[in-house]
A and B are shown apart, each in its own frame.
Chain A
């Protein structure tokens, strides 16, 4: 098993650009989530999904879109990047409950 994979590892965007952060898992996990982590802060939930076709908002969803067309993939889309979205993004997955999540290695995003 590759576990939870995220691409890219690093990304620099200009304000207004769009991009998609990729997240994939090969463990047949139903529960997947996206977090952002800013300096001195814990992880804040952006969006999560409890299965293919089902997503819900977390604490900080504004500026981000998600979809879950397959069990394996849970991409995070930034439609118009802003400097406030500069952060480290972690994807995580678990079989059913978030209390057994496996975290991906993270994507460091800088928006200029």
Chain B
């Protein structure tokens, strides 16, 4: 049973395009949602979101969380070939009195052609 679902699974665009990656989730005791970028190696952290409606930005990347509808989007504007990677969404959930754990989606493979 998937707790974190990302769409699309694969996306091919040309440089300069804007892309929107989606992440929906279903977990109890939600704590935070995280986005990672993975380029043939370990994931690197992009954003952590805990509150609805507050956009986080870093350069051409931005992300927002909707805790009512249980989803998040990651936007990348003016894409570059260096943006080609797998983008992973993860949700942190509490486990009662113990510390939380992360549930990952399958990722979106983004390919940016020059």
Contact with A along B29-61 (1 / 0, CB 8 A): 001101000000111110010000000000000
A61: interface (CB < 8 Å)? no
Residues of A within 8 A of B45 (CB): 100
A83-101 to B contact mask, C-beta < 8 Å, 1/0? 0000000100000111111
Q: Please classify the interface of chain B as helix (H, G, I), strand (E, B), loop, or mixed, using the class held by over half of its residues.
A: strand
Q: Verify B98–A99 contact, CB threshold 8 A.
A: no
With A98-B92, A99-B48, A105-B41 already in contact, the answer to whether A42 and B98 are too (CB < 8 A) is: no
Q: For the complex, would chain A's binding face be called helix, strand, loop or mixed by DSSP majority? A: mixed
Q: How large is the interface on B (under 10, 10 to 19, 20 to 34, 35 or more residues)?
A: 20 to 34
The answer to the question of A106 belonging to the interface, with a C-beta cut-off of 8 Å to chain B, is yes
Sort chain A's interface into a size bin.
20 to 34
- List residues of chain B with CB within 8 A of the CB of A45: 101-103
For residue A96, give the distance in angstroms from its CB to the closest CB of chain B: 7
Q: Cβ of A23 < 8 Å from any Cβ of B?
A: no
Closest A residue, CB atoms, query B88: A42
What are the nearest 4 A-B pairs in CB distance?
A42-B104, A103-B42, A43-B104, A99-B32
